[in-house]
Structure 1
């Protein structure tokens, strides 16, 4: 079987810039690296499919529960709200997303992908990185679903991306692996990939 290849294509106009610029403690944050993008691929169904990649605010924020400070001690310019939820801006997640996230997603066709949760079709890929001289595991969690508004288009939603403080769990290490092509094909066919 030939190598699975993707080709970047024009992102639909309605999915333009997702996050505007932010300021964190007076420092401007440019979030344009998290703008949606699209690629085409041949999944063997007789026509190409388009995959639209969308990023969640969880790629640059963390929950209040993960912050050591009481909520009332967190400054307003450190809080992000998208209208549905409020979270704390996280410099580590932001910097890693700028440095690693785009390349990891573009590289999914050749990366090891772990089935993180088969019940919700949730997947995980990791990159070992050295941040501040320390070994770290940067995990990218994503899901894929059919686009209900457009035939032959799939949505790949990057749900979160952050450093796993204790590395992979035993379950994650032992979980079944899948290729991006098999994940996309299963989504088109309405199948679940079993862990």
Structure 2
């Protein structure tokens, strides 16, 4: 496995609010794990997290104290998304045992049902996968693009289903899975 496997992947700086309280984001630093797929092949899954996992679109009021930026965009730090993001590394590791479906813009989604005060809620975790082309062996880059509490009044953001291991196999073979037609 390559020594610089996480080169170019974001390591998020903590968010510090106007009162000086720090919200560490090291749980969203890149990591990797091994996954066995068909025919006993083992693939390295390289996991990264995008800013949308802990931020939301800028507030209309434009609260400057909540702004978080990288080299591409400026968004508002979201306490709810931040709190929920603590479970993302485990969700990423468990994708092979979870139900996954097709989402918009060549993304996939898994929906985590969580208990909350007053009932259950759904947490949508949106991700994409890409084959890694280097000399480290079989590897796939998995980026969690966004994750947030879903609106119970709206249709779930998924179309059809696909097993994560099958998605990885197709990705390694250079085949783009097709969502079902509805």
TM-score, length-normalised on structure 2? 0.84
The answer to whether the 8 A contact 1:54-1:157 is kept is: yes
The answer to whether the 8 A contact 1:39-1:51 is kept is: yes
Give the structure with the larger helix fraction. Answer: 1
Q: Secondary structure at the match of 2:147?
A: strand
The answer to whether the 8 A contact 2:45-2:140 is kept is: yes
Question: Could you tell me which residue of structure 1 aligns to residue 84 of structure 2?
Answer: 96
Q: Distance in 2 between matches of 1:129 and 1:116?
A: 20
Residue 26 (structure 2) aligned to one of 23, 29, 32 = 32
Deviation at 1:168, TM superposition (A): 5.5
Residue 139 (structure 2) aligned to one of 153, 156, 172 = 153
The answer to whether the 8 A contact 1:121-1:192 is kept is: no
How many positions carry a matched residue from both structures? Answer: 175
Structure 2 unmatched ranges of 5 or more: none
TM-score, length-normalised on structure 1? 0.79
Q: Secondary structure at the match of 1:176?
A: strand
Structure 1 residues 164 and 170: CA distance shift in structure 2, 3 A: closer
Q: Distance in 1 between matches of 2:40 and 2:112?
A: 34
Structure 1 unmatched ranges of 5 or more: 1-9
The Cα offsets for residues 80-123 of structure 1, whole Å up to 9 and x where unpaired, read as 1111100000000000111x222211111110001113xx4311
Structure 1 residues 106 and 170: CA distance shift in structure 2, 3 A: closer
Deviation at 1:131, TM superposition (A): 3.3
Q: Distance in 2 between matches of 1:182 and 1:159?
A: 20
RMSD of the TM alignment (CA)?
2.4
Deviation at 1:132, TM superposition (A): 3.8
Structure 1 residues 31 and 167: CA distance shift in structure 2, 3 A: farther
